[in-house]
Structure 1
Amino acid sequence: MDSILVTGNGPLNGQIPIAGAKNACLTLMPATLLSEEPLTLTNAPRLSDIKTMTALLQSLGAEVSSLQDGQVIAMSSHSLTSQTADYDIVRKMRASNLVLGPLLARFGQAVVSLPGGCAIGARPMDLHVEGLEALGAEIELKDGYLHAKAPGGLKGAVHEMRFASVGATENIVMAATLAKGTTVLKNAAREPEIVDLVECLRKMGAQISGEGSSTIEIQGVDRLHGATHQVVTDRIELGTYMLAPAICGGEVELLGGRMALVESFAAKLDAAGVSVTETQNGMKVARKNGRVQAVDVVTEPFPGFPTDLQAQMMALMCTAEGTSVLEERIFENRFMHAPELVRMGANIEVHGGTATVTGVETLKGAPVMATDLRASVSLILAGLAAEGETTVSRVYHLDRGYEHVVRKLEGVGAKIERIKGE
């Protein structure tokens, strides 16, 4: 099994290109199931999760081709052969459940396994089910599979979600595009990936308004057509690499970055003593003076502080001056990186959904183990700032969400290499 060896060697300087958003691309790909005509995505990230979604769509009979070194994905669902998403594929990735709404809307039936993914909490499907049932679907859980049907087709409805779930919002919006009548989805998630999905669906002929707000209105249409769409910049990769010069010193420009994607995160960095400015080609990040200052963090749905940047922010706080409190309100079990950071000399106490971090002068390199996608990159960031060598094992998690992480960090002066396992 591969590992990554990181040796702390001072400030980072240069440019890092930011890829298209994993979470946006994984949402956009199932949209092909809504139409017989081709859907082409550009600026696609080259990640193992994208390969998993490709395999899932192909198992349904969709044609999926990877072009231009994986940055273009051409898809067609003109002749699907199945409406069943099998456990063997779905178990690998949570986003696989996003085929449920499109299959149900277009074919009136779907059988989808309960999903897998990172072990960061239960993340149940009840919000998806409640929304689709509000549109007239009949859904039953049998033997680990959701059996959904809508014999008379889906029908528009007013539905308020109990929690602003990103995945449930995406599933319901996609399903509602082909429902009869108007759907009003209240307490909808507001993430940029949802705005990106709606922009793509609109290009396909959907009639949707209100994306980016907590109320989305969808006027159902009879059919959707093909389109070409550019995947939005990955705000989580952007935020992750913004932390590299914050934790190591130096100045790094993030090519393709946009402040609108990370405003709450950038505000926290500013409060910690890190300068974030927009440039002609993206964003530039550098420490203002010396050691960063401790700041408190509470994860919230967009536009609040992203849960997917909590682990990385904790790595920064490990060497900050003072004590910070990080409160996780989105997912339980999302502090599994804390014990690994402690192995590197960090001072962290975890009580339920709250972690208290007292900054230390320096971290020490150590062998550590990645427990999930974002935890893996937080350990790499910590290793960049640590004295000596840090070996991060189980980095297959990393490949799910970051393309060419070694190459990108090497490009700004990091001493990092991937060690092939036996």
Structure 2
Amino acid sequence: MPSTISVADAIAIRSGEPLIGSVRVDGSKNAALPLIAAATAVGRLTHLSNMPQCQDVRTMLDPLRLCGYSVARSVINPEEVVILPVCGAAPPADLAGAAAIRASYYLVPALLASNGRARLPWPGGCPVGERGMDLHFRVYEAFGDRVVLDGSGYHVVRAGERLPEVEIVLPFRSRGATVAAILRAVIERCCLTVTQPNVSPEVAEILAFLRAAGWQAFATEERLRLTPLHAGESAALAWEVPGDKVEAVTLACAVAVTRGSAQIKGVRAADVLPAMEMLAWLGIPAHASADTVTVHGQDTQLTGQPLRAVASLAPGGLDADFEPSLMALALGLRGVHLFADAINPGRHGNLIPQLARLGAAIEQLSATHCRITGPQRLTGAAVTANDIRSGSALLLAALAADGLTTVSGLAQLRRGHADLPGKLRRLGADITGEPA
């Protein structure tokens, strides 16, 4: 994060009336980034619609242009991106800009496809603890690629001999390694089997995209299988990025915090089910059907049941990015609630001290586990967003705090959301100051 925060990088939030109305989420950043990479891997003209206009997507598209791909946003609809490989273009030696995002490793297959080698800086993104690349490198080595590491980044050289089939056993359900294996198999046009894959909605979306591109692709909790079918297919592809499930859950929690009533549109019900089940467990009327989440916070009848929000990579588990918003919600709820996120071990360290500035008393059981006893009364103060999801949680806490809360560090928030404060404002939140 920059050492100084400009006035344009801060907003003021005053708690007040319940949030009421209807709002539509943007496309999902977490789904868009691997879909962009999948579009490059299939090597065909691809139209991706409902593309979020957040900073991380822009950061992903810029290096692709340098890597030899034609990338353009539609003049008529800026949420549509067109991607086409350009033959004969060699990437520059320095792709330093890719270091700004964690998902920069999705560029590896694109570079291997167009140039036979990929040299990238170590990935950046949210400062939420060590998330190593070792498993990714094991994936590339399974394809016969050579991986060389140095202080500034890593270098992957494509294997000279094509393997007709690759089998990979993952020691845990890593989404990044699962996607890396899928994309590497696509550029190789080989069969792939992954044992103990990640089967999150984002991975399922890539497999659905590849089926449209002429691949046989399916995944169960135990095994993922990928087989090329139509080697000569060249027709253009069109695909819509799914709605942002994290933004939908954040907005649902915001409505619940204020005891409001709202519809959050544009998100698939299955993608938010674990969070909706937790709200129902707490006694907050919330449900998802078709493409809409509905929250009737004014009818809340709190159960006093303890909430256990434990981030998990297991099928049907709680997405780690849901946990911060649930934590902000739990501060105002009766009961003793447990939170854990071992997937992003530094996230609690970013969020809990900022919530403490608002008066929150959170018992840290370890670096990744904490306990909240509620309800607690929060008071407005100046806080800083230190990562995307912590920033979202601070907006929610500000809606519950007495008085005025100033949230700075919005550059972090805008990396994942084009305008989350604006959506809250459209539901009636008293937010002043417009991020630049």
User: TM class by shorter-chain length?
Assistant: over 0.9
CA contact (8 A) 1:292 1:320 kept: no
Q: Does 1:278 align with 2:288?
A: yes
CA contact (8 A) 1:178 1:223 kept: no
Q: Does 1:51 align with 2:58?
A: yes
CA contact (8 A) 1:8 1:383 kept: yes
Measured after TM superposition, the shift of residue 83 of structure 1 is 4.9
* Letter of the 2:285 counterpart: S
Q: Does 1:171 align with 2:180?
A: yes
CA distance in 1 between counterparts of 2:286 and 2:243 reads: 17
CA distance in 1 between counterparts of 2:25 and 2:137 reads: 34
> Which residue in the other structure is 1:389 paired with?
404
> Which residue in the other structure is 1:338 paired with?
352
Structure 2: segments with no counterpart, 5+ residues: 1-5
In the TM superposition, what whole-angstrom CA distance separates every residue of 1:5-28 from its partner, at most 9, and x where no partner exists? Answer: 110013111011011111111111
CA contact (8 A) 2:243 2:266 kept: yes
In the TM superposition, what whole-angstrom CA distance separates every residue of 1:315-341 from its partner, at most 9, and x where no partner exists? Answer: 011111122111112121110211111
Measured after TM superposition, the shift of residue 154 of structure 1 is 4.7
Change (3 A) 1:213 1:130: same
Measured after TM superposition, the shift of residue 279 of structure 1 is 5.0
CA contact (8 A) 1:346 1:360 kept: no
CA contact (8 A) 1:83 1:110 kept: no
CA distance in 2 between counterparts of 1:419 and 1:223 reads: 50
> Which residue in the other structure is 2:215 paired with?
206
> Which residue in the other structure is 1:328 paired with?
341
> Which residue in the other structure is 2:3 paired with?
none
- When structure 1 is superposed on structure 2, of 278-287 and 23-32 the one drifting more is 278-287
In the TM superposition, what whole-angstrom CA distance separates every residue of 1:393-412 from its partner, at most 9, and x where no partner exists? Answer: 11101111112222211111
Change (3 A) 1:168 1:202: same
> Which residue in the other structure is 1:303 paired with?
316
CA distance in 2 between counterparts of 1:5 and 1:242 reads: 21
CA contact (8 A) 1:7 1:416 kept: yes
Measured after TM superposition, the shift of residue 112 of structure 1 is 2.2
* Letter of the 1:411 counterpart: R
The alignment's C-alpha RMSD in Å is: 2.0
CA contact (8 A) 2:67 2:111 kept: no
Structure 1 residues 15-414: aligned runs within 5 Å: 15-67=22-74, 68-79=76-87, 81-83=89-91, 86-105=94-113, 107-149=115-157, 150-179=159-188, 181-210=190-219, 213-220=221-228, 222=231, 225=234, 226-278=236-288, 282-287=292-297, 288-289=299-300, 293=304, 294-301=306-313, 302-335=315-348, 336-350=350-364, 351-414=366-429
Identity in percent: 28
CA contact (8 A) 2:23 2:263 kept: yes
- When structure 1 is superposed on structure 2, of 354-363 and 43-52 the one drifting more is 354-363
Measured after TM superposition, the shift of residue 46 of structure 1 is 1.2
State the secondary structure of the residue aligned to 2:187: coil
Measured after TM superposition, the shift of residue 276 of structure 1 is 1.5
Count of aligned pairs between the two proteins: 420
State the secondary structure of the residue aligned to 2:433: strand
CA contact (8 A) 2:71 2:82 kept: yes
CA distance in 2 between counterparts of 1:200 and 1:154 reads: 23
CA distance in 1 between counterparts of 2:224 and 2:93 reads: 28
Residue from 7, 12, 21 that aligns with 1:14: 21
Task: State TM-score, norm by structure 1.
Answer: 0.94
CA distance in 2 between counterparts of 1:94 and 1:189 reads: 17
Change (3 A) 1:80 1:244: farther
Change (3 A) 1:338 1:120: same
Change (3 A) 1:296 1:129: same
Task: State TM-score, norm by structure 2.
Answer: 0.91
Measured after TM superposition, the shift of residue 178 of structure 1 is 3.5
Change (3 A) 1:419 1:229: closer
Structure 1: segments with no counterpart, 5+ residues: none
Measured after TM superposition, the shift of residue 235 of structure 1 is 1.0
State the secondary structure of the residue aligned to 1:117: coil
